[in-house]
Amino acid sequence: MTTGWKASVLTILPDMFPGPLGASLCGKARDAGTWSLETVDIRDFARDKHRSVDDTPSGGGPGMVMRADVVDASLEAAGAGQDGRPVIYLSPRGRPLTQKRVRGLTETPGAILLCGRFEGVDQRVIEARAIEEVSIGDYVLSGGELAAMVLIDAVVRLLPGVMGKKTSGDEESFESGLLEYPHYTRPQTWAGRDIPPVLVSGNHGAIAAWRHEQAEEITRSRRPDLWTAHEKRQASTDEND
C-alpha cells in the first residue's frame, strides 16, 4: 500500500486528528493509501519540563507567541525542506485559499501544515523557512487545526480516484470561475414547488444553457468580485480569438 499524498500536521492538539478527515471520501481514500496523515506534537520539542511552546510577546501586549526555536525543531522533524512538500502556516493574514491553489497542491508530494495557537508564531521562523501563509477566510479561529482540515479535505477530494468519475468536480463552484448552478432531484413537485421544466425536458443543450445562465446570475448577485474577474477573463478570451 502506498502512502500517496502526505499531510503532516504540526499542532499542540494532535488528538483533534483525523477528526472528520477519517470519514466519508477522505477517510476511504486514506484507508486506500491515496493519502496519508501524520501529526507532529509541537510540545514534544519544548525546551523545559513544562513543555512550553510559547512566551510573552516582545514589545509587550496581550497573549502569548509560539517560540521560533520550538516550532523550527518540529518543522525539522516533519521533514521541512527535505522532500519537496510546501510548508504552509494557516493564518488569517495569509493569502486566501483558492481552488487554483488547491489544485496546485495535488501536484505536490503533500504538504506540511503548521497550526498556530495563541497570538501566532514568531515571525523569524516564518521568514527563515520561507513558510507560505494561507487563510481560509476573513475571520479568526482559536487555532489552525480546523483550517488545516479544510485545506486537506479540499485537496484530497481532487486526488485521482477519490471522487470517482473525472468529471465529478468539473462544474463545481470556482472550477470555471463561477459559482455552481442550483440542483434538483425527485420528487418533481415538493411543497408546491416544481423542478424547473427545462431540467425534465430531455433537451441537453437547453439544460446546459440554463445551468450556465443560472451560474452567471448567482455569481453576479452573490460574488461581484468573482463576476468582475470572470468578465475580464471573457474579454481577454474574446480578444485572443
* Domain CATH number, residue 223: 1.10.1270.20
- Select the more confidently predicted residue: 164 or 38: 38
Band (41; pLDDT cuts 50, 70, 90): very high
Instruction: Give the model confidence (pLDDT) of 207-222 as tens digits.
Output: 999 999 999 999 999 9
Query: What is the per-residue pLDDT for 169?
Result: 61
**Does residue 162 sit within a domain?**
no
- Considering the domain architecture, whether residues 133 and 30 belong to the same structural domain is answered as yes
Tally of domains within the chain: 2
pLDDT (mean) for 178-200: 96
- Considering the domain architecture, whether residues 138 and 24 belong to the same structural domain is answered as yes
**Does residue 34 sit within a domain?**
yes
Q: Is the pLDDT of residue 45 over 60?
A: yes
**Does residue 102 sit within a domain?**
yes
Instruction: Give the model confidence (pLDDT) of 107-154 as tens digits.
Output: 999 999 999 999 999 999 999 999 999 999 999 999 999 999 999 999
Unique residue bearing C-alpha cell 521560533: 68
**Dihedral, CA atoms, 142, 148, 154, 155, nearest 10 degrees?**
170
Pairing of strands 35-41, 5-11: parallel
Q: Coil, helix or strand for 207? A: helix
**Does residue 25 sit within a domain?**
yes
- Considering the domain architecture, whether residues 136 and 218 belong to the same structural domain is answered as no
pTM for this predicted structure = 0.91
Q: Whose CA is closest to 115, among 161, 147, 72, 162?
A: 147
- Considering the domain architecture, whether residues 47 and 142 belong to the same structural domain is answered as yes
Query: What is the per-residue pLDDT for 99?
Result: 96
**Does residue 163 sit within a domain?**
no
Query: What is the per-residue pLDDT for 164?
Result: 79
Band (170; pLDDT cuts 50, 70, 90): low
- Considering the domain architecture, whether residues 133 and 184 belong to the same structural domain is answered as no
Unique residue bearing C-alpha cell 479568526: 140
**Does residue 70 sit within a domain?**
yes
Band (237; pLDDT cuts 50, 70, 90): confident
Band (240; pLDDT cuts 50, 70, 90): confident
Crossing angle between the packed helical segments 24-31 and 145-156, to the nearest 10 degrees: 70
- Considering the domain architecture, whether residues 215 and 131 belong to the same structural domain is answered as no
- Considering the domain architecture, whether residues 67 and 182 belong to the same structural domain is answered as no
Half-sphere exposure of 81 (CA within 13 A, CB side): 10
| The domain boundary residue, chosen from 103, 128, 156 | 156
- Considering the domain architecture, whether residues 146 and 184 belong to the same structural domain is answered as no
Query: What is the per-residue pLDDT for 83?
Result: 94
The residue segments making up the domain with residue 219 are 171-240
- Considering the domain architecture, whether residues 146 and 205 belong to the same structural domain is answered as no
- Considering the domain architecture, whether residues 12 and 58 belong to the same structural domain is answered as yes
**Does residue 126 sit within a domain?**
yes
Q: Is the pLDDT of residue 2 over 70?
A: no
Q: Is the pLDDT of residue 1 over 50?
A: no
Query: What is the per-residue pLDDT for 175?
Result: 83
Q: Report the CATH number that the domain containing residue 131 is assigned in CATH.
A: 3.40.1280.10
Instruction: Give the model confidence (pLDDT) of 55-112 as tens digits.
Output: 999 999 999 999 999 999 999 999 999 999 999 999 999 999 999 999 999 999 999 9
Mean pLDDT for the chain? 94
**Does residue 165 sit within a domain?**
no
